[in-house]
Chain A
Amino acid sequence: MTARVNMADARATVIPDRGLVPLEEILCTEELWRQPQRSPDHETENRALSKLVDALSRSPRTILQTLADTLLEVFKSDSAGMSLLTDGDASFYWAAIAGAWSPHLGGGTPRDFGPCGDVLDCGRPLLFKHWERRYPYLAEATPLAEEGLLVPFYVSGKAVGTIWTIAHSHRRRFDSEDLRQLESLARFASAAYQAVQLLDGQEASRAALESMEAAARSKQQLEAIVETTPECIKIVAPDGTLLQMNAAGRQMVEATTSREIEGASVLDLIAPENRAMWNECHQRVCKGEKLSWEFDIVGLKGARRHMETHGSPIRLPDGTVAQLAITRDVTQRRQDELKIRESEHRFRQLLQSLPAAVYTTDPDGRITFYNEAAVEFAGRRPALGELWCVTWRLYNGDGTRLPHDECPMAVALKENRPIRGAEAIAERPDGTRRWFAPYPTPLQDSSGRLTGAINMLVDITERKESERQQKLLIDELNHRVKNTLATVQSLVAQTARSTEDVDEFQRAVEGRILALSRAHNKLSERRWADAELGELLRSGLEPYLAKGNVVLSGEPVHVPPRVALMMSMAVHELATNAGKYGALTSSEGRIDVTWGAKANGAGLRLRLCWLEQNGPPVLKPTRQGFGIVLLERGIQTELGGKTRVEFSPAGVRCEIDIPLAGEEE
């Protein structure tokens, strides 16, 4: 259905103050900034501008429609167009429309009662929502506008119209980037409008020009367009001579009048290192190509700016082809880009220098960055784009396999929340495993949208190992204490069986417990690895050594804890017996203790000989006392050794022979 909206009708049927919703009801401009933020799309914008400049130089008569078509294409909206003030500024007419509203071409709205008028009244862009609620005549402009974004444009400070883009459904929501681009194109609209005005004027005065195209090419017309456009527009002759530059351009190169620069070589304004490149591009444009490139300029007062230019060939009245360039100052944009790049670089350097494994992913979990510590930790160099984790394989603390897509990083991304307190095991390709604590944290942009995640893997293998060691140590300590208590319990019970009264019992049991304790001391000094036999004997026989009754001779032999404990007990029993009945009962008595370790076929054997001399005559004991049982059965049971005790009249002789190593029982 094509409902042509007639502005005369609109004026006739609508009276401003009659029961309509207020303007605020149909405005939602602030919504533009509530949409998800996106980065400026300079590329699309530049392509559009370049195309428009080209169209302006080739076919100025149709430039307004080209502009409407371009708006539709750039914004991917449903309708777009341009409204111009007419009728002595009493109304707007729709000078160009593209898209769904094309049938309404030539329609329009009153200056004092319509969206275009509102935009000029406010002097700024406005976003409307279902404007027919306030302006009923627009109900005939179908399809209805869900959203309409309008931007005013001006010539020499006077408002002349608006350009606009419309969405007829919820599919398209305009945002702040749309606004930025529409404002940029509004500047071009101003130039295009002037070109058309100029052409209309000439047509009306029936100037003696053969065709409109010829007129557009004339230097005079171009001057008018060029001079008022806010971008730098210039025409450069093939030899580099600056033929024309508009006011905006003069400001960029720090010239106050056109005389300062026009007629001079434009190359003088280009930064020396860019001149060759610039001239090469310029020559190509003058040969018919359309090109875009970037370069630095140095203004007359020395200010350096970074420029982006779109050059099109243009035929001058004398037939030569020059370059028409629309150039914009992108110094700020470039500085911003450099700043972002610099901050990204610093950020990465910082992560790279951390001793902890760190990596980042995009919102889908694909790895975008990892530091060298991560490579070292994982034992592999992951490929960028791999999913979820830098590690080779993962396991839970209980040893079960942990699939990568269920790892803490995957959970953090899928549920958009940081994960803390997790522990897992990473297996490297070489099979080694490391315990680690991950710290995955989702990352959001300023509008709260998930942009990826960062994860730090802290190696806690040493902590886990020391926890395990500590548990082993406590278990072992517990075991030793229990066994020692059981040994003491046995000593007490055995001593009680072989003593007559409490005093004797106390002396005997004390002596045995202290012998055990001395052996413990020697073993503790060497962390229960072993003890040196000579030291054990010296410590056990200390009181007798000073008197010279006991002589020790033997090479240093390190014996394991079981042997050390048993030998200390055995020697204690021998010495006690000697003090009660043997060589230590008289000052002439003498005891020689000799020992040595010898390799013997299967392994190492320790032999110790206890020989008593010059004591009183020895009588064979009448019963098997504690000492004899310990020497004979104890050595055999506990150490797999043999003991021979002789009670010969000249003195007690005891030989102990035990395996030290190699003779595994």
Chain B
Amino acid sequence: MTSGLAGLRVFVAEDEFHVLQLIEDMLVDLGCTVADSVSSVRTALDRAATIEAHVAVLDVNLRGKPIFPVAQILRDRGIPIVFSTGYGAAGIEPEWQAYPVIQKPFAIDGLGAAIARIAALARPAAAPRSRSP
């Protein structure tokens, strides 16, 4: 599949296995690479500090814990973020409401458009510090 997103490395945080699989498959279909996927906030905090990614797709709530501390690290590192949620936009804290939010269940086009939008906004500042060749 060809899209403007080919080659983007995506960091995924999602605690529902089936949904994670779906997102990963969609990303692959969009031509992206899954940089890493995590299913708990603790692991996500670890990885966020060092992950080499162009975009992050974050479920707002992993096993009852809000993802925002993770989003904070990624924002500080200049990595654009797309939130996914089953709660609707009301579950997003006010300071994050400018970011794209995709509602579960979503189709590949919705995910692709959200990534394209935030990646375009963030580029070129959002380029990772060290990109894989």
B87 CB within 8 Å of chain A: yes
Which residues of B have CB within 8 Å of A485? 104-105
A665 CB within 8 Å of chain B: yes
Which residues of B have CB within 8 Å of A493? 22, 25
The minimal Cβ–Cβ distance linking A255 to chain B, given in whole angstroms, is: 92
Once A478-B87, A638-B39, A665-B42 are accepted as A-B contacts, the answer to whether A486 and B18 lie under 8 Å apart by CB is yes
CB-nearest residue of chain B to A629 = B21
Which residues of A have CB within 8 Å of B15? 637-638
A10 CB within 8 Å of chain B: no
Question: A-B contact count, CB below 8 Å?
Answer: 66
Which residues of A have CB within 8 Å of B37? 637
A535 CB within 8 Å of chain B: no
A343 CB within 8 Å of chain B: no
B88 CB within 8 Å of chain A: yes
Q: Give the docked Cα–Cα distance between A475 and B86 (Å).
A: 9
Which residues of A have CB within 8 Å of B17? 566, 630, 633-634, 637-638
Q: Range of interface residues on chain B?
A: 20 to 34
Q: Give the docked Cα–Cα distance between A562 and B16 (Å).
A: 9
Asked if A483 contacts B104 (CB within 8 A), the reply is: yes
Which residues of B have CB within 8 Å of A633? 17
Q: Give the docked Cα–Cα distance between A630 and B37 (Å).
A: 16
Once A637-B39, A638-B17 are accepted as A-B contacts, the answer to whether A486 and B22 lie under 8 Å apart by CB is yes
Most buried by A among B18, B42, B88: B18
Cβ proximity bits A468-488 to B, threshold 8 Å, 1 near / 0 not: 000000010011101101111
B6 CB within 8 Å of chain A: no
Asked if A482 contacts B103 (CB within 8 A), the reply is: yes
The minimal Cβ–Cβ distance linking B3 to chain A, given in whole angstroms, is: 18
CB-nearest residue of chain B to A481 = B86
CB-nearest residue of chain A to B84 = A486
The minimal Cβ–Cβ distance linking B13 to chain A, given in whole angstroms, is: 11
A597 CB within 8 Å of chain B: no
A13 CB within 8 Å of chain B: no
The minimal Cβ–Cβ distance linking A613 to chain B, given in whole angstroms, is: 30
Which residues of A have CB within 8 Å of B20? 637
The minimal Cβ–Cβ distance linking A303 to chain B, given in whole angstroms, is: 81
Asked if B19 contacts A486 (CB within 8 A), the reply is: yes
B129 CB within 8 Å of chain A: no
A534 CB within 8 Å of chain B: no
Cβ proximity bits B101-133 to A, threshold 8 Å, 1 near / 0 not: 001111000000000000000000000000000
A143 CB within 8 Å of chain B: no
B63 CB within 8 Å of chain A: yes
Once A489-B105, A638-B15, A665-B63 are accepted as A-B contacts, the answer to whether A475 and B87 lie under 8 Å apart by CB is yes
The minimal Cβ–Cβ distance linking B108 to chain A, given in whole angstroms, is: 9
A494 CB within 8 Å of chain B: yes
B33 CB within 8 Å of chain A: no
A interface size (C-beta, 8 A): 26
Q: Give the docked Cα–Cα distance between A630 and B20 (Å).
A: 12
Which residues of A have CB within 8 Å of B106? 486
Q: Give the docked Cα–Cα distance between A488 and B43 (Å).
A: 26
The minimal Cβ–Cβ distance linking A663 to chain B, given in whole angstroms, is: 11
A418 CB within 8 Å of chain B: no
Within 8 A of B (CB), among A452-506: 475, 478-480, 482-483, 485-491, 493-494, 497
Q: Give the docked Cα–Cα distance between A478 and B19 (Å).
A: 16
CB-nearest residue of chain A to B90 = A475
Pick from A475, A490, A497, A566: contact of B19, CB under 8 Å: A490
Asked if B86 contacts A486 (CB within 8 A), the reply is: yes
A640 CB within 8 Å of chain B: yes
Q: Give the docked Cα–Cα distance between A566 and B16 (Å).
A: 10
CB-nearest residue of chain A to B43 = A665
CB-nearest residue of chain B to A665 = B40
The minimal Cβ–Cβ distance linking A632 to chain B, given in whole angstroms, is: 11
Asked if B104 contacts A490 (CB within 8 A), the reply is: no
Which residues of B have CB within 8 Å of A630? 17
The minimal Cβ–Cβ distance linking B83 to chain A, given in whole angstroms, is: 14
Asked if B21 contacts A494 (CB within 8 A), the reply is: yes
Which residues of A have CB within 8 Å of B16? 483, 486-487, 638
Cβ proximity bits B58-82 to A, threshold 8 Å, 1 near / 0 not: 0000010000000000000000000
Which residues of A have CB within 8 Å of B86? 478-480, 482-483, 486
Which residues of B have CB within 8 Å of A480? 86
Q: Chain B: residues with CB nearer than 8 A to chain A?
A: 15-22, 25, 37, 39-40, 42-43, 63, 86-88, 90, 103-106
Other 16 A-B pairs with CB < 8 A, given A490-B21, A634-B17:
A478-B88, A479-B87, A480-B86, A482-B105, A483-B104, A486-B104, A486-B106, A491-B18, A494-B18, A494-B25, A497-B25, A634-B18, A637-B15, A637-B17, A637-B37, A665-B43
Those 9 A-B pairs whose CB atoms lie nearest each other, nearest first: A490-B18, A482-B86, A490-B22, A486-B105, A634-B17, A665-B40, A638-B17, A486-B104, A487-B18
